[in-house]
Amino acid sequence: MKPLADLIRPQTLDEVVGQQHLIGENQILRKLIEVNHIPNLIFYGPSGTGKTTVANIIAKISKKKIYKLNATDAKTEDIRNIIKDLDTLDGMNGILLYLDEIQNFNKKQQQTLLKYIENGQITLIASTTENPYFTIFSAILSRSTILEFKPLTPQEIEEGLKRAIQLVEDEFFIYPFECDDEAIKYIANLCNGDLRKGLNALEIALYPNCKTEGFILNLDLVKKSTVTAGFSYDRFGDQHYDTLSAFQKSIRGSDADAAIHYLARLIQVGDLLSICRRLLVIAAEDIGLAYPQAISIVKSCTDAALQLGFPEARIPLAQAVILLSNSPKSNSAVVAIDKALSDLKRGNIGSIPNHLRDSHYAGAEDLGYGINYKYPHDYPNHYVKQQYLPTSIKHVKYYHPAVNKVEQGFMAYQNYVQGKKN
């Protein structure tokens, strides 16, 4: 028997599950297909969301010569062979190339296509599970329309599973069978937006029972057919960086529950080093001077996690995440240093004032270095007013205290030593 995912592959847009933002009534991709005006397209999104299916539908209505390549195993020679057909009767109306997993083509291979997609001789429909802005040559991006395919909802996956069940019953089962709604919902919720994964689980449950009289597809059976949970994660792709981003933003937003959820995702794939590095960054960037001791505590937690390893490492990591989520927040330190670095990039620096320059060598005094420097410890409150910034930026303020107990204490100290009134 063919894989169930291939057997039920939709032949028309109306049969496609999900992606209504692209192929729904009056949506951009449907309109392009209906008028048979197909520009160069890049389909971007996770596996099992319909990219290949929609590309196949487009290919069928096109009057162009159709070629399909998978960039995982295709070679530059395969592209050259396609280009040769441009001068034949087969290629007189142009060529439509469906290139799956385009991110696996190197820059040179992508550039080989550039001339032909630019002049319209080849219409490219490419698909990728990775962010095209990071993996596809910019010249191809600029000549293509990027369309994002989104993970399917459990309800959309249920729709696809029910269609598959009907097909299997009609085509392969000798006897009618029953199907519990709970079983379908279980699969739909387990496959993480990937219909293909759900169909594979359904296939394992159904195919061995095509000749079983009185068969019932129930929850117990599908649980046995779906051995692993539906969590998928590409440690070196978009999911990795998206998860780390959501992790930090959840802590910054003081949402401990969301932060723990994203921590669990990172733990599930064993990404201990990324977790530890990100927690230390968060302690300095987002909590900062509002709770200066946080970074010391987090350093202890991450050191413990690295020494323990998984599974025990999850405990000090969770401790650090909950602490940071519930700590007061301040980004005054990162704002200050980024503003100073920005000044340097613009060349807005000036010379170090002479009285601050090193004077611990013979001849420094002759150069005027170190003269008139006032030693703060010789003055009341260990403070004396003098210029420290270069003259061209002497009035610049980099650090602006945030409203929290610690930094307001800094302000009170500055006012005290400078003799200012609160």
> What is the residue-level pLDDT of the chain in tens, covering all 422 positions?
667 777 888 888 988 999 999 999 999 899 988 888 889 999 998 888 999 889 888 888 887 788 889 888 888 888 888 888 777 776 667 788 899 989 888 888 888 888 888 888 888 999 998 888 888 888 899 889 999 999 899 999 999 999 888 888 777 777 788 888 898 998 888 888 888 888 888 888 888 887 788 788 888 888 877 755 445 555 556 678 889 999 999 999 999 999 999 999 999 888 899 999 999 999 999 999 999 999 999 999 999 999 999 999 999 999 999 999 999 999 999 999 999 999 888 886 888 899 998 888 878 887 888 888 999 999 998 999 999 999 988 999 999 999 999 999 999 988 888 887 65
User: Fold for domain 154-225?
Assistant: Helicase, Ruva Protein; domain 3 (1.10.8)
Taking CA atoms, 188 is separated from 165, 182, 237, 271, 366, in Å, by 13, 10, 24, 27, 81
Q: Is 195 exposed, middle or buried (0-12, 13-18, 19+ CB in 10 A)?
A: buried
Taking CA atoms, 317 is separated from 190, 261, 286, 331, in Å, by 26, 12, 17, 22
Residue 401: is the preceding peptide bond cis (ω within 30°)?
A: no
Cβ atoms within 10 Å of 254's Cβ, excluding its own: 15
State residue 232's pLDDT score: 56
The answer to whether the CB of 281 falls within 8 A of the CB of 288 is no
What the block records as the tokens of 132 is 């095209």
Q: Identify the CATH number of the domain defined by range 19-148.
A: 3.40.50.300
Distance of CA 229 to the CA centre of its chain: 21
Half-sphere exposure of 290 (CA within 13 A, CB side): 20
In the block, tokens 């329309």 appear at 145
State residue 420's pLDDT score: 76
State residue 325's pLDDT score: 95
DSSP 35: T
CATH-assigned architecture of domain 238-325? Up-down Bundle (1.20)
- pTM of the predicted structure, to 2 decimals: 0.64
The answer to whether the CB of 34 falls within 8 A of the CB of 58 is no
d(CA 386, CA 135): 53
* Domain-wise residue ranges, the chain: 19-148, 154-225, 238-325, 347-417
User: Fold for domain 347-417?
Assistant: post-AAA+ oligomerization domain-like (1.10.3710)
